[in-house]
Each structure stands twice: as structure tokens, then as C-alpha cells.
Amino acid sequence: MCTGKCAKCTADLLFPLGLLAVVGNILLFFPNGEVWRTEEITEKIWFFPGVIGAGLLAFLPASIMRAAGREGSCCANRCGMMLSMLMSVLGVAGALYCMIISAVGLQDGPLCDTGDGIFIYPFFNSTTEESYLSNQTSWTVCVRPQNVVMWNVVLFSILLSIGTLEAVLLLAQIVNGLIGCLCGTCMNENQQTRME
């Protein structure tokens, strides 16, 4: 078993996931692909769940994991695995941040104009039974930006999924890092032949 290779594999998965989260967060700023004023954009987007949570806080541990998994690297040892384990805890916190902000963004719904020129949160106080998420006919209440409800639901759902997947990967890396810290990053050939 090689914990270093497992760390490198996890890092290789985290980089594209983090990049997708950053792109998803940026797209949330442009409902329906249009530019709107700051006060016309949903507030939860300004918490940058994809840029900070699932982006930067995933790139940091991924970089350390990559170094810990590279053969001949100065980090490909027990200390490198311990550092990757500690950084993975930070990554889990970022993934949880992304998940929480995305879930709240989905629950509250988008900021939109309902036809009177004033931007409000029309779905803000809806209960679970009357949630706008399960009643697509209520989405027509938002006149501007056009398709803003679909835009927010899809992108916040993607961010929630990415945050969840990153949390699982980083939790697995914490276990992997602990094993690597206790047992080393790889078994040498002599140990492998003795086990066979």
C-alpha cells in the first residue's frame, strides 16, 4: 500500500473540483449571463463559497498532498504526510463552508425583481412544505433577471455537490495521512516480498 500515491491521486481530483467551484461561483455573479449592479445580486454569492471554500481552501491541501505523493520530493516522508493531514483539516473546513453557504443560498432563493422594479427575496420565508425548489411554477414570480431562479438553483447545487465531494476526499486524506504518518509513505520492495 502506498499512501503517497493515494495522496497524489486525491490531489489530482481536488484541483479540477476546486477550479469548477471557482468558475461556478463567478458565474453566480452574472445571472442569465448578464451584468447586474451589486445590490441586484444575491447576497450569499458575496460570501464566495466556491472561490474561498471549495477553491482556495482546497488548492492548499492539494498542493501539499501532491508534494507528499511525489517520489523523491522533500515532502514524500512522514512529516509531509502529517502536513498533508493537517492541511486536509483546513480543506474540510473550506468544503463545509461551501456546503453551508450553498445550502443557505438554495434555501433562501435568489434576489430578483418581481415586476415592481424593487429587488427582493420572494422565497425567503417559505417553509419546507411550500419550498420553491419543489414548485417550479412559483419561479415565474421573478421577472428580472430572467431565469435567475434556475441559474441560482443549478449553480448553488453544483457548489453544494462539489463541497460535499471535496469534504469526502479530504476526510479520506486525513485517514490516509494518518496512516502515512504512522507507517511511512510507501512500503519498500523488501517489505513487500516478505508480505507475499
Domains of the chain: 2-110+147-193 (1.20.120)
User: Measured between alpha carbons, how far is 79 from 185 in angstroms, rounded to an integer?
Assistant: 10
Structural contact between residues 64 and 180, judged by C-beta atoms closer than 8 angstroms: no
Q: Show pLDDT as tens, one digit a residue, over the chain (196 residues).
A: 477 788 888 999 999 999 999 999 999 999 988 899 888 899 999 999 999 999 999 999 999 888 876 665 555 577 778 888 899 999 999 999 999 999 999 999 999 998 888 999 998 876 667 788 888 888 889 999 989 999 999 999 999 999 999 999 999 999 988 887 777 666 444 444 343 4
The DSSP annotation for 104-166 comes to HHHHH---EE-SSS-EE-TTTT--STT-GGG-GGGGGG--BSTTHHHHHHHHHHHHHHHHHHH
Hey, what amino acid is at 23?
Answer: V
Per-residue pLDDT reduced to its tens digit, 69-109: 666 555 557 777 888 889 999 999 999 999 999 999 999 99
pTM of the complete model: 0.86
User: Measured between alpha carbons, how far is 111 from 120 in angstroms, rounded to an integer?
Assistant: 5
User: Measured between alpha carbons, how far is 63 from 32 in angstroms, rounded to an integer?
Assistant: 34
User: Measured between alpha carbons, how far is 7 from 166 in angstroms, rounded to an integer?
Assistant: 13
Which pLDDT value is given to residue 185?
61
Cis peptide before 145 (omega within 30 of 0): yes
